[in-house]
Amino acid sequence: MRWTKPSLAVVATALLASACSAGAGTGPATAGASAKDTSPLTAALGGEKESAGPAPAVPGARSGGTVNVYNSVEFRHLDPQKVYAGAAYNASLLWGRQLTQYQVVDGKAKLVGDLATDTGTSGDGGRTWTYRLKDGVAWEDGKPITAQDVKYGIERTFGKGYEVGPPYWPQWLTGEASYEAARTKYAGPQDGDLAAIETPDERTLVFHFPQPQADVPYMAAQSSSSPVRRDKDTGTDYDRQPFATGPYRIVEHVQNTRMVLERNPYWKAETDPIRSQYPDKFVFTYGKEALNSNQEILSGRDGGANATTASDVLSPELYQTADTDPKAKDLVVSGRQGAFVTQLVINNERVPDVEVRKALHLGYPRQQARQVQGGSRIGELATTLSSPALIDWEKYDLYPARPEGDPEAAKAALAKAKQAPASLTYGYKNTPDGQRVAQVLVDGFAKSGITIVPKPIDPKAFLDEVHRADSPYDLFEETSSVDWPTPSTLIPFSFDGRAGSDLNSARYRNPEVDKEIDRINQIGEPRAKAKELYALEKTVMKDVPVLPFAYPTVNQLRGSNVGGAFVHPIYGTVSLAWLYLKS
C-alpha cells in the first residue's frame, strides 16, 4: 500500500506525542493532580522550515550556572544504540542528536528534522526513505557529522549486545519478524557494509526496506538513530561516555556516582530546532535516596535550589507538605506520563495456567497498591494493555474486577486451575515505595488464598534481573510504553512469542497471535492497522498475560531557582534540555 509523507502528516496532526511516553505542561502543576484527561495527545509533523533551528526561546531564560540533577540510580545505558527508556532518552538530548526529534512549545510536541533537514521523504510506496543532513552539524571535536556516521550507528543496532535497544532497524531493514532472524542476515559492522542503507555522499542517506514502512520518521527520532563515529567507538566503554553531538559533552563520569556535562563548543544553535544551551554545566549525582534528594530540593539546601531529578518522583512522605505548603506545591512538576501503562507482569512460563492468572487478576488489590503510592495522583486505574493516548484507542474491560480485589471470585477461578501454585515469587525494587507495595500484595492476595513470597531486588539491577531469560520471579511490576502514538509497537513487540524476554517480559507465547502479527504488519494504512491491532489486543488479554494497573501520572520536583521545567510530552520526565537558572 502506498505510504506517502502527506498521509503521515495527516495522521501525525490527528495524533502523535507518545513515542516513549508523554505528559504535558510548561511548568509546575497541582501536587495532587490525577491527570484524568486521557484524550489523545496531539502533535504536528514539522517541515523544513520548522526543522531549521534555532529552538524557540524559553520565556525568561538566562544563561549561566550549574544545574544539579539527582537520581537514586544511574541510567541503565548511555550508549545511544542501547538506550531504550524515557528518562534516559530525555537526558541524552543534552549530548546526543538524531535524524529527527520532538520540538516542544507550550507543552505540545512537533516532530521535526534534527540532524536531518526534515522528517524524511518516502518513495516506492514507503519502501524507500531519504534523509539529507544539515550543513554545520558537528561532533564535539569540531569534525562534521556525516551520513556514514549515522549509517554506522544504525549498523551497530545489529551487533551482539545491542538487543537491549529497539529492534526496529534490524527487523525493518532485513524484512525479518524477529531480531534474532535479522542478525542471521547481518550481524553488525564486523560483517562489513549494510547494503540496505546507501550513503551516496556525506550528507545523504537512503534507506531501502523489503516491505513498506510508514513509521520511519518516528523511528528516526529514537536514540538508536544517533550517529556514532567509527574511530570513537570504544565498544562497551561507549556506554560510559558517548561522543557528543548535542549542546553538552560528558567530561567526567564515575558510574553510579557522578557525571558532569559542560558546554559543547562545536554545537551550533542555528542547526538545532529542539535544544537550548542555557546552563554552563549539568552535574548528575547518583546514589542518594529519593526522599533525601527531594527534601534537599524542597528546602533549597546543599544545591537543592538549583536542582531537579532525572526520573525520581515526589516521595510519598512529602505529599502532605506538597499539598499544604504553597511554596512546596509550586515546586512540583506534574504531567501525564503519556502512553505509558503500569502493569503487574506475570511470567507466563512460570505461571502457565490461565485460571491462575485470572485468579490473580480478580484478587489484585489495585486500589490499595495505588493508595500506598500516593492515591489518585499516581494515575488512573487501567483495564487495557494500551494507553488512552493512542490513536483511535478503544476502552474495554474483559474481566471486570473490583478495584480493591474480589477474594471470592479469585478463589472460584483458582478452583478451576489444573494445579494451583503453592506460592508465587514477587520481585520488587528494594525501595520504600517498593516495600509498601510488596506488603499490600502479600496481604491482599492472601485473602484470595494466594501466597506471595516477596523478593527485594537492588533498584540498579531490577530491569536486568526481571528481564533475564532465567528470571526466578513469577510477578513483578513494570511501567512501559509504545514507541510512538499508534499500537504498532505494542502487541507486535511486547507479546510476540518469537521475541526474547527483554521485549516480551511476560514470556507470552501464542502461535495464532504471532500469525496475526505477521498479517497485520503488512497493512500500510495506520488507522486500518490500528483497528486490527486493538482487536488482537483483546485476543491477547483473554489469556491474561499481565494485569493492567494504572495509566500513570508523573510528579517530580524542581528547585526554586530552576526555570523552564515541564514534563516532556514524549519522554515523560522533566525535560533537562530546556532548563535554566533564574539567577
* pLDDT of 272 strictly over 50: yes
Residue by residue, DSSP assigns 407-448 as: HHHHHHHHHTSSS--S-EEEEEESSHHHHHHHHHHHHHHHTT
Q: Which helix (H) or strand (E) holds 332?
A: strand 332-336
Q: Determine, yes or no, domain membership for 174.
A: yes
The pLDDT value recorded for residue 569 is: 82
Whether residue 223 is found in the same domain as residue 368: no
> What is residue 44's predicted lDDT score, i.e. its pLDDT?
62
415 occurs within a structural domain? yes
Higher pLDDT, 113 or 340: 113
Residue 573: inside a domain, yes or no?
Answer: no
Say if residue 230 is in the same domain as residue 346. Answer: no
What CATH number is attached to the domain comprising 463? 3.10.105.10
* Residues 192-245: tens digit of each pLDDT: 999 999 999 999 999 999 988 888 998 999 999 999 999 999 999 999 999 999
Summary mean pLDDT of the chain: 90
Distance CA 23, CA 17 (A): 9
Rounded Cα gap, residues 542 and 397, in angstroms: 10
253 lies in a domain? no
DSSP structural state of residue 279: S
* pLDDT one-digit tens code per residue, 386-400: 998 787 898 999 999
Give the pLDDT band (50/70/90) at residue 527. confident
Q: Could you tell me if 364 and 223 lie in one domain?
A: no
Task: Tell whether 348 and 216 lie within a shared domain.
Answer: no
Say what the pLDDT of residue 460 is.
Answer: 86
**Residue with more model confidence, 522 or 370:** 370
Q: 198, 219, 234 — which closes off a domain?
A: 234
Tens of pLDDT along 454-483? 999 999 899 999 999 999 999 999 998 888
Most distant pair of Cα atoms in the chain: their distance:
68
List CB contacts of 62: < 8 A, sequence separation 6 or more.
278, 580, 581, 582, 583
Query: Three-state DSSP class for 261?
Result: strand
Q: Is the pLDDT of residue 122 over 50?
A: yes
Q: What is the pLDDT of residue 31?
A: 29
User: Is 294 within the bounds of a domain?
Assistant: no
Residue 81 lies in a domain: yes
Q: Identify the pLDDT of residue 115.
A: 98
Mean pLDDT of 94-117: 94
Residue 72 belongs to some domain of the structure = no
Quickly state the pLDDT bin for 126 (edges 50, 70, 90): confident
CA torsion sign, 313 to 315 to 318 to 324?
A: positive
Which pLDDT belongs to residue 259? Answer: 98
**Domain presence at residue 559:** no
pLDDT value of residue 12: 32
Domain count, the chain: 2
Looking at the structure, tell me whether residues 367 and 224 fall in a common domain. Answer: no
Q: Which residue is listed with cell 519502501?
A: 127
Nearest to 382 by CA among 367, 392, 360, 368: 367
- Inform me whether the pLDDT recorded for 489 exceeds 80: yes
Give residue-wise pLDDT tens across range 138-156. 999 999 999 999 999 999 9
423 and 541 both lie in a single domain: yes
Give the per-residue pLDDT at 287.
94
Residue 123 has pLDDT above 70, yes or no: yes
The pLDDT score that the predictor gives to residue 23 is 29
Domain range for 50: 5-21+44-58+77-234
Tell me which DSSP letter residue 534 carries.
H
CATH of the domain at 148: 3.40.190.10
- Specify whether 355 is located in the same domain as 489: yes
More confident residue, 37 or 557: 557
| 11-65: pLDDT as tens digits | 332 333 333 333 223 333 332 333 334 444 544 678 899 999 999 999 999 999 9
Give the pLDDT of residue 132. 98
How high is the pLDDT of residue 29? 32
Q: What percent of the chain has pLDDT over 70?
A: 92
Segment 182-198 shows an average pLDDT of 96
Q: Comparing 31-35, 288-292, 299-303, which segment has the lowest mean pLDDT?
A: 31-35
Q: Residue 549: is it exposed, middle or buried by C-beta count within 10 angstroms (0-12/13-18/19+)? A: buried
- 338 is written with which cell numbers? 503519556
Of 175, 209, 234, the residue at which a domain comes to its end is 234
